[in-house]
Structure formats: C-alpha cells, structure tokens
C-alpha cells in the first residue's frame, strides 16, 4: 500500500467519526493557534520598540549636566550646569567614535500664527541634530550652519505644531510665527515622528538656531551649556566609554567620586526593551507548546481507543494479506492526518485571533512565516510521536485473536 493509498484510507477512517476526529484535533488547534498568535504579538511588540527607538536616532547618546546638592537635598540631573561649550568642542575634536555632537537647549513658550496660538517646546540646536535623530523634513529645508553663525530668526515646526497653527495638510513654509513676540520665518516642517517610547509627542516642538535661542529666547550662562548634548556615535558603547573618560578628565574627577554628568545610552535601553519582549514571547510560546503536547496525548488516547474498536477490522486486513507495516502505516497516517489538520486549523485560528486583537486593542502584530510553518510541522511531528505506539500495537495484533475479538 503506497503513501497516497495510506492517506486515502486514513481520511476515510477519520471521516466515519467526524465529531470525534474534530474533538481530537482541538488540542492541536489551540496549541498551534496559541503559538502563532503569541509569537505574532511578541514580534509586533518588538518591532514597535525597534521602530520607536530607531525614530529617536542611531546609536544615540544624551549627555546631561550634573545635579545640585544644597543642604543635603540633591536635585536631579540637569539641576546644576556642569557641561561647558568647551566640553562640546572637545567631544567633537577628541572622541574618534563620535560622528555628530550638538547642543540641545530648550524652553517652553507660546507660538502664534496670524489666527492661532499653541504652547509648545522651543528647542535651540544645530543642523546636525536632525542627522542624529534621523529626522527628515516633510516640507521646506532645515536651517543651516550659516543661520547658526548669524543668529537668523528662522524656525522649523514640528508636525503637531504646524497642524495646530495652520491646520492639517497646510504648507506654512515662508510664513511668519511669533515666539515671545519675536517674528520667525518658517523654513521647514519636520517629518512626523509620532510618540516616544515614554508616550510623549515628538512632533510637539519647534526648532530654532541655538544662537538665536540664546539671544532671543533664553540667555546663556557664559561658558556653561544650559541644556544637554546629543551625540551620534559609530558605536554607542564605545562612544559612551570614550566620552565618559574625556569628561572625567576635563572635570578633574578621579577615583570613586560621582560624575557631575550623566550619559544616557538609548541603544542599551532599546536592547533591554527588546530582550524583555523576547523573553515574554518565548515564555508564551513555551506555554503554547505545552498545549501541543497535551493535544498529542489526546491523539494517542483516541488512536488507542480506535485500535480497540477496530480490532476485528485489523484481523480481517491481515487475513486477506495486509502486512504488519501496512497496518502500522495506516494508523500512523491517521494520527498524522489528525495532527496536521489540527495544525492547519490552528494556524488559521492563530492568524484570525491575532488580527482580532489588533482590531480590538490596537496591539501591533507581525507574522513570521517561518514560525507558522514550523508550528504546523511540529504538530505533524507530534502526530508521529504520539501515534507511533497505537500504530505499533495495531500492527502487532495476532490475526486469529483479532478475528475472535468481540
């Protein structure tokens, strides 16, 4: 009996008890469905984390000034100016792993167009900031180094601010807005970034040259840089170590003394988030795999019952010339058909469930074809493993005893 004939006989035998066959496959359906859905949700969450951190910049380091310590009360990082403009120059000139380094000064103020107003964050920086953050312009052209050198009153609007001041789908390039009653010409609208991993709106901001910021928005502190330094490094870990060594040397910090600055490595944060997501996905996939094993036990149980019920049929087949390996292949084929059918139904159920979760709860999902194929293959393997014992038992029946079985 060839393979096709074996499958035909298996299908015919299973269809004689449709309800029982369907109930037997439920364990496989739930197991494969759970594997597909959980992995899709986990991959979607991981992709969302990667996208969120990619939007923040490649190998991004943020250097923050130190904390104040007054009367035993310590403030957070940034409460005490410790970074200087000379520190920024040294980072650019002496740290080989640094590609870009720019100041980031910020304040909050109301921005007014002719008809609307909006209170938002005012950021003073340099053109390389947009390179660090992988932030292209949606409209217009960002300000230049020449604008920074001359303190030009130009502004780049975030997408949210542009929409609030001029309406959706508008083009405010060339128009004038006022910040603290000072007119600024809009030279560009930054591309939409969306939310940060902490839930803040990245597009609710306007950018102006940092020299203009110091002269018109918020006075400087002489040699001290009143803000943070954004850095793009060729290697985030190496850049963090080199910048730390440089600043400790420049600030004459030795031994175990606490640094008077902080460096935030967002690549490490992204890696931790991704690892956490991967761990949760793996745990859920293991739980789902247990369901597959339970489904396999169910298949074995039903196949043993089937062997008992069909003992006389087995005896008849052997009596008319069927060999032991033919009986083995027949019952093993039935077990594999049950398992694979359950796997395919489970695959469909997993995809439908994942899409429903996306529609109902707006969870991101990302289907992995390799995992989907592997889940179905694994279900077939479960059918082989748990169907082998009942099949061997059937193939080893004595034909005379089988024919006499009541």
Report the half-sphere exposure of 217 (CA within 13 A, side-chain side). Answer: 31
Instruction: Give the phi and the psi of residue 75 in degrees, each rounded to 5.
Output: -90, 175
Decide if pLDDT at 281 tops 60: yes
Among 227, 241, 242, residue whose Cα is nearest residue 125: 227
Q: Poorest-confidence range of 75-79, 236-240, 348-352?
A: 75-79
Residue reference for tokens 């203009």: 212
Tokens encoding 335? 């077990």
Decide if pLDDT at 310 tops 90: no
pLDDT tens-place string over residues 319-342: 777 778 888 888 888 888 888 888
Tell me what the pLDDT averaged over the chain comes to.
84
Tokens encoding 328? 């083995």
Among 131, 193, 186, residue whose Cα is nearest residue 157: 186
Residue 297 CB: number of other CB atoms within 10 A? 12
pLDDT tens-place string over residues 89-101: 999 999 999 999 9
Task: Give the DSSP H or E segment for 192.
Answer: none
Please count the residues of the chain: 406
Residue 101 CB: number of other CB atoms within 10 A? 26
Tokens encoding 302? 């039903």
Decide if pLDDT at 271 tops 50: yes
Contact status, residue 379 vs residue 289, Cβ threshold 8 Å: no
Which pLDDT does position 292 carry in this prediction? Answer: 75
pLDDT tens-place string over residues 112-134: 999 899 999 999 999 999 999 88
Among 268, 169, 242, 158, residue whose Cα is nearest residue 203: 158
Tokens encoding 254? 């030795």
Task: Give the DSSP H or E segment for 189.
Answer: strand 182-190
d(CA 229, CA 266): 14
Among 29, 34, 38, 27, residue whose Cα is nearest residue 346: 29
Among 241, 235, 247, 264, residue whose Cα is nearest residue 62: 264
Residue that wins the pLDDT comparison between 190 and 260: 190
Residue 364 CB: number of other CB atoms within 10 A? 16
pLDDT tens-place string over residues 151-180: 999 999 999 999 999 999 899 999 999 999
Helical residues (DSSP H) of 251-323, grouped into ranges: 266-309, 311-319
Q: Is 368 helix (H, G, I), strand (E, B) or coil?
A: coil
Which pLDDT does position 44 carry in this prediction? Answer: 81
CA distances from 314 to 386, 393, 395, 397 (A): 20, 11, 8, 8
| Cβ-Cβ contacts under 8 Å for 144 (sequence gap 6 or more) | 127
What's the CA dihedral at 245, 246, 252, 257 to 10 degrees?
-30
Contact status, residue 152 vs residue 211, Cβ threshold 8 Å: no
């Amino acid at each position: 009996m060839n393979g096709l004939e074996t499958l035909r006989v298996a299908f015919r035998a299973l269809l004689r008890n449709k309800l029982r066959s369907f109930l037997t496959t439920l364990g496989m359906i739930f197991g494969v469905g759970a594997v597909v859905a959980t992995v899709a949700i986990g991959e979607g969450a991981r992709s969302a984390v990667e996208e969120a951190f990619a939007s923040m910049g490649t190998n991004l380091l943020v250097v923050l000034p130190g904390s104040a310590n007054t009367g035993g009360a310590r403030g957070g990082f940034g409460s005490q100016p410790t970074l200087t403009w000379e520190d920024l120059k040294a980072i650019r000139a002496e740290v080989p792993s640094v590609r870009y380094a720019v100041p980031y000064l910020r304040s909050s103020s109301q921005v007014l167009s002719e008809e609307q107003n909006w209170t938002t964050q005012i950021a003073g920086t340099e053109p390389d900031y947009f390179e660090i953050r992988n932030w292209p312009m949606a409209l217009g052209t960002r300000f230049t180094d020449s604008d920074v050198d001359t303190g030009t009153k130009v502004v780049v609007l975030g997408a949210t601010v542009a929409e609030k001041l001029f309406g959706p789908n508008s083009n405010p390039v060339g128009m004038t807005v006022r910040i603290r009653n000072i007119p600024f010409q809009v030279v560009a609208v930054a591309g939409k970034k969306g939310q940060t991993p902490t839930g803040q709106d990245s597009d609710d901001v306007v950018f102006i040259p940092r020299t203009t910021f110091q002269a018109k928005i918020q006075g400087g502190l002489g040699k001290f840089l009143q803000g943070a330094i954004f850095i793009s490094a060729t290697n985030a870990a190496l850049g963090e170590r080199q910048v730390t060594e440089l600043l400790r040397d420049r600030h004459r910090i030795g031994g175990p003394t606490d640094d008077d600055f902080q460096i935030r490595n967002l690549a490490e944060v992204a890696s931790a988030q991704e690892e956490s997501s991967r761990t949760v996905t793996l745990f859920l996939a293991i739980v789902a795999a247990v369901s597959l094993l339970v489904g396999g036990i169910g298949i074995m149980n039903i196949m043993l019952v089937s062997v008992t019920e069909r003992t006389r049929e087995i005896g008849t087949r052997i009596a008319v010339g069927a060999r032991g390996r033919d009986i083995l292949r027949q019952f093993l084929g039935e077990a594999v058909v049950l398992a694979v059918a359950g796997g395919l139904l489970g695959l469909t159920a997993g995809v439908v469930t994942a899409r429903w979760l996306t529609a109902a709860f707006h969870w991101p999902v990302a289907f992995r074809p390799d995992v989907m194929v592997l889940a179905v293959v694994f279900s077939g393997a479960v059918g082989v493993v748990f169907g082998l014992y009942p099949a061997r038992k059937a193939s080893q029946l004595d034909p005379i005893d089988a024919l006499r079985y009541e």
